[in-house]
Amino acid sequence: MEACAFDSYLTQIAELTRNQCARVLALLKPAVDQGRTAAVIEAAVAPTLCCPRCQGKQLYRHGTRNGLQRFRCRACGRTFNSLTGTPLARLRHKEKWLDFSECMLDSRTVRKAAARVEVAKNTSLRWRHRFLKLTKADRTACINGIAEADETFLLESQKGARNLQRPARRRGGKASKRGISKEQVCILVARDRSGGTVDFVTGRGPVTVVQLKEHLGPVLAPDTLLVTDANQAYQAFARQQGISHEYVNVSAGEHTRGAVHVQNVSGYHSRFHKWLRRFNGVATRYLPNYLGWLWAIDQERIRSPEILLRTAIGVFNT
Ligand SMILES: [Zn+2]
């Protein structure tokens, strides 16, 4: 709209009835919210923006679509926007993304988030896992100092799978065997005393030395003191890696010996189990996403919908 036409249009706003004002607001809200989302995304990506095909940095502006600036690469001609190549590319309804991020920070269920932002339940589920795909990778590369490591277990779940590889179990069912069996999925968590946390879904049954090497090997700094329970796999792992190791014999009633304890990681396990209950069972294949979700919100590490939106497109620590 021309500037002077717009000015005269604005003068009429003062004469709107209360009802008309509400209608104008309702009409403007999606555009305003889409603009907020786009602003967060474009500001996050701007410092590293380049062509997804050739990494070229010379870009032309090439119109806007769905609230996002499009660019055209001068070198190769590819057009793209700030979401190209991210898990959020081509998702619709950007005007709802910040509200949806808020639902994620509040750990709302699929159903409640869907009702809150007014999308279908399937959309709510799809968005959840798209938002978590990169957010779960927002980790410290290395854990240092005293590193507690311990496993926790969940009953394996093929929720949502089309072909069950075993007889169906009722929701919240119990394992048919006592103790840790192949029906249980092992989650390995390591946590240092500054709160740095890594987690791995190692597979069914107890954790093995090979799995410890594969997962913990690359993330433990060489001068780490590894603290665990008396599980012998850790002792063999530490010996083979040449890492200092202390353990508490929890099953014999020993819980702490000075700084030697696994209470931080146990606390994290309990928060995970307690938090997970609201979801009424999650599919094992999605467990890494749920672990990443807890890591995002635990002790308010991610505090705002804007930050969550940035981590969802892989922009961390800004
Ligand atoms: Zn290019």
Q: Tokens 């005293």 map to which residue? A: 146
Residue 34 and residue 303 in contact, taking contact as beta carbons nearer than 8 Å: no
Q: How many CA atoms lie within 13 A of 246 on its CB side?
A: 17
pTM of the model: 0.90
For the cut 70, the answer to whether the pLDDT of residue 216 exceeds it is yes
Task: Report the separation in Å between the CA atom of 48 and the middle of ligand 1, taken as the mean of its atom positions.
Answer: 14
Q: How many CB atoms lie within 10 A of CB 109?
A: 16
pLDDT band at 175 (very low <50, low <70, confident <90, very high): low
Nearest Cα residue to 293 out of 280, 312, 306: 312
The per-residue pLDDT for 45 is: 96
DSSP 8-state code for residue 279: G
Query: Lowest mean pLDDT: which of 30-44, 57-71, 77-91, 155-169?
Result: 155-169
Element (H, E) at 189: strand 184-192
Task: Report the separation in Å between the CA atom of 77 and the middle of ligand 1, taken as the mean of its atom positions.
Answer: 6
3-state secondary structure of 20: helix
Task: Report the separation in Å between the CA atom of 70 and the middle of ligand 1, taken as the mean of its atom positions.
Answer: 13
What is the chain's length?
A: 318
pLDDT band at 255 (very low <50, low <70, confident <90, very high): confident
Task: Report the separation in Å between the CA atom of 42 and the middle of ligand 1, taken as the mean of its atom positions.
Answer: 18
For the cut 60, the answer to whether the pLDDT of residue 172 exceeds it is no
pLDDT band at 149 (very low <50, low <70, confident <90, very high): very high
Task: Report the separation in Å between the CA atom of 129 and the middle of ligand 1, taken as the mean of its atom positions.
Answer: 29
Task: Report the separation in Å between the CA atom of 315 and the middle of ligand 1, taken as the mean of its atom positions.
Answer: 21
Task: Report the separation in Å between the CA atom of 91 and the middle of ligand 1, taken as the mean of its atom positions.
Answer: 23
Task: Report the separation in Å between the CA atom of 52 and the middle of ligand 1, taken as the mean of its atom positions.
Answer: 7
Task: Report the separation in Å between the CA atom of 62 and the middle of ligand 1, taken as the mean of its atom positions.
Answer: 14
For the cut 60, the answer to whether the pLDDT of residue 318 exceeds it is no
Give the mean model confidence (pLDDT) for residues 14-26: 91
Query: Using CA atoms in the order 211, 213, 214, 219, what is the torsion angle rounded to 10 degrees?
Result: 130
Task: Report the separation in Å between the CA atom of 287 and the middle of ligand 1, taken as the mean of its atom positions.
Answer: 36
Question: Strand ranges (DSSP E) for 223-280?
Answer: 225-228, 244-247, 256-257, 260-261
Task: Report the separation in Å between the CA atom of 61 and the middle of ligand 1, taken as the mean of its atom positions.
Answer: 13
Task: Report the separation in Å between the CA atom of 300 and the middle of ligand 1, taken as the mean of its atom positions.
Answer: 39
The per-residue pLDDT for 198 is: 95
Higher pLDDT, 169 or 70: 70
The per-residue pLDDT for 8 is: 87
Structure tokens at 193: 């005393």
For the cut 70, the answer to whether the pLDDT of residue 167 exceeds it is no
Task: Report the separation in Å between the CA atom of 128 and the middle of ligand 1, taken as the mean of its atom positions.
Answer: 31
For the cut 60, the answer to whether the pLDDT of residue 171 exceeds it is no
pLDDT band at 252 (very low <50, low <70, confident <90, very high): confident
**Please, what sign has the CA dihedral across residues 198, 201, 205, 208?**
negative
Task: Report the separation in Å between the CA atom of 79 and the middle of ligand 1, taken as the mean of its atom positions.
Answer: 8
Q: Which residues surround ligand 1, an ion (CB under 5 A)?
A: 51, 53-54, 56, 73, 75-76, 78
Task: Report the separation in Å between the CA atom of 71 and the middle of ligand 1, taken as the mean of its atom positions.
Answer: 10
Mean of per-residue pLDDT scores for the chain: 92
Query: Quick one: how far is CA 160 from the chain centroid?
Result: 20
Task: Report the separation in Å between the CA atom of 68 and the middle of ligand 1, taken as the mean of its atom positions.
Answer: 18
The per-residue pLDDT for 164 is: 60
Distance CA(283)–CA(160), nearest Å, equals: 7
